[in-house]
Structure 1
Amino acid sequence: MYPPSTDHGIAYLYCNYKENGQAALNLMSSLLKQLIHRRPNLPQSLEEVYSEHRSKQTRPNLSEYLTLFQNEIRQLRRTFIVIGALDECSEADYTRQKLS
Structure 2
Amino acid sequence: MSIAAIESVLQQMRVTSLQTGIAQPAAEGAEPRGFAAELRRSLDNISTAQTKAYGQAEDFEMGKPGVALNDVMVDLQKANVAFQTGLQVRNRLVAAYQEVMNLPA
Per the normalisation by structure 1, the TM-score is 0.39
* Larger fraction in strand: 1
The structure number with the bigger radius of gyration is 2
Normalising by structure 2, we get a TM-score of: 0.38
